[in-house]
Structure 1
Amino acid sequence: MHFSSGSLPSVVALTVFLARASVYAHPHSFAIWAADSAIARGQGNGLDSNGEPTDSYEHGELQWGLRLLYETTGNESYFNYIVQGASQIVDSKGDIEGGYSIVAYSQDPIRTGPTFAYLYERTGQSKWKIAMDTYHQQLMGQPRTAEGQFWHKLIYYNQGWLDGIYMGEVFYTVYTNTFQPTNATAYADIAKQFDLMFQNTIQKKGVANYTGLMYHGYDYSHTASWASEDRGHSPEVWIRALGWYMMALVDILEIYPEDNSIFLDHLNTLVPRVRDAADPDSGVWWLVMTQPGRAGNYFESSGSAMFVYAMLKAVRLGYVVDNNGSIVKAATKAYQYMIDNWVVDNRDGTMDWLNTVLVGSLDGNGTFEYYTSIEVDTNDLKGLAAFLLASLEYETL
């Protein structure tokens, strides 16, 4: 609004200005703003862009955040949206929609399983247990490497990806807690999934572009074009794969009832290295973390938000001791960059979220050129849901 020199605005003009400011003002909470914006766009509602049911892990990620937001605020609309979305995925008989096929042995859809578990706990409706049983049946038949690692999908022969840990193992734990709480074999298997992934993908000192972090995945059979000679790992540390793994660590530590030393060891190894890998100026992280500053590389928003969530939650719950405050300082610096650069006020009560890479796969050659060639998306749910989670932790802090 422009005020002419030497004059005061009229009462009418000032009233209009204040009314517009009220409409445009976003909620005090960025977590609420992110959630409300996703809901306003119909994101994470159990349907794909064509209005067909989809058992998408992105929807499971958002529903996890909406559950936490509901528990924080008591706002029933978040719970109702979870029910609405999950009911698109699971029909009244408990069958999973969205083209789900148990024999595809893909871990990705299983990320919606924790939502079913939550709704079964809240409602007692049998359809949620039936759907959970289906996912559990899949995991029990999931192809494995000779060491015992779940394949990421049937089509990826002998391959373990960091992504799969987030998709499958949190549900595996929730299911075991709910229906098989004395199954020590299952709990040992869950810990083994994390540890095999860690041991087969963690960077060893002396390698080129050393970060001490985890490569995107590995091929136990060493037959993939990208498999290294030593452990069969992929060539680069890709930000979102590591982000999935970090979030899985802090989420499972809250619910795993047995000896959690493996998870704590991994988390305490990774958190300081993630802190140190941040760009010193911006405070956030590069898409390809093994090649910071290389032409074509850029700061990526979904992985950065995942790191902030994992770091702050790890410190808040005492899983990682932040003696000198450097971990929280790094996470809060990154969060400030995120809201300054990747949050856009649409002036209609909603926000946009920028700079999330659309996808990352080991279906090809896993090179730097591959990762940096993928399109960057606006309001990609993988990034927006991670920002919701990061905001919840930041606002708790």
Structure 2
Amino acid sequence: MIEPNPQSAEPSVVHCEEGDVEAVPGQRSIIVGADGVARCWWAYTSPLQRRDHDEVWGAPCYDGDELFARLCLECLQAGLSWSSILRKQRRLREVFHYFRPYAVARMEPEILSLLQDAGIIRNRRKIEAIVANAQLVVDLQEAGVPFADYLWQMVGGKPLLRRPASSKDVPDTDLTATLMSTRLRKDGFRFVGPTVAYAFMQASGMVNDHLAGCFRAVRNPEKCEHCAGGMVFDEFGRVALIGRELPEGGYEWCLPKGHMENDETPQDTAVREVYEETGILGEVTREVAVVDHRFEWEGHIVHKFITHFALRRISGELNASNDPDHEAQLVRWVPLRDLEATLTHRTDQEVIRRYMTG
């Protein structure tokens, strides 16, 4: 396990404008930007790096599909700069079917065409490894082992918190990563050496290596949130999904859902959220599933519980313009048989599976 670094050495702090990190040559500690926020020095090398620093690197991820995506990106990065991966990330996610393991595992016939795509990392061994690794993830899931649980148990189920004073205190790998690499390779995974494993741990928030003084190094206790939503069916057996625009382009497709307000019951919240995000007024017919996941938001680990219901359409037409939070940009009906393949997030896919078996 990683031992916390001594905090007696305070990190040096300088001020600079965003993108002007070259103004402080040799600076590898904390930089305060024009917005007054202290960040690790590398956040100022490009806008993509800053977004990665602020939103991804060191933030615990508990979604199995996204963990697989981040592991794939780290495999592709081996021997290259991380900035090159960030520049190509949007295209990589597109061609690899957003790294959904079931889809990637069937990509062997696509390998030759991928090698002609200048928008990605065209390394045949890495691409073949990703496809092979996807099949291993599928095998785990079909054996009843969620990929997130499989990975997180290797670090004891909790993020490993460090407070390095400067970049020289951030290792390329450590014993935990070496043990993770050994386990992964024993189970058949490829391109997962100790350095790749440690970079993956950083990218997935299994270890927090933000420098002491960086705003992302601050951690607060876990908070719980309770939400509700649902599958609203029309008379043809189709279900309404909402599309949310992604910063890197494209859309993620989700079941409508949201936070419980005031004295609402979960059923009340489901009816309201479905109406606000889809324009469809529904009536709850039964509870389908309660799913949960964790993520990081404003320095807190948030444990979110979502109760999903099945609803019958009473009235209304598809319309995303009534959403007061403006989270839904698109809305459409999707046949039940196509739902799992269309939905972006593992937790929504799990709801569909429980409905089908319920």
Q: TM-score, normalised by structure 1?
A: 0.24
Query: Which is richer in strand?
Result: 2
Query: Which is richer in helix?
Result: 1
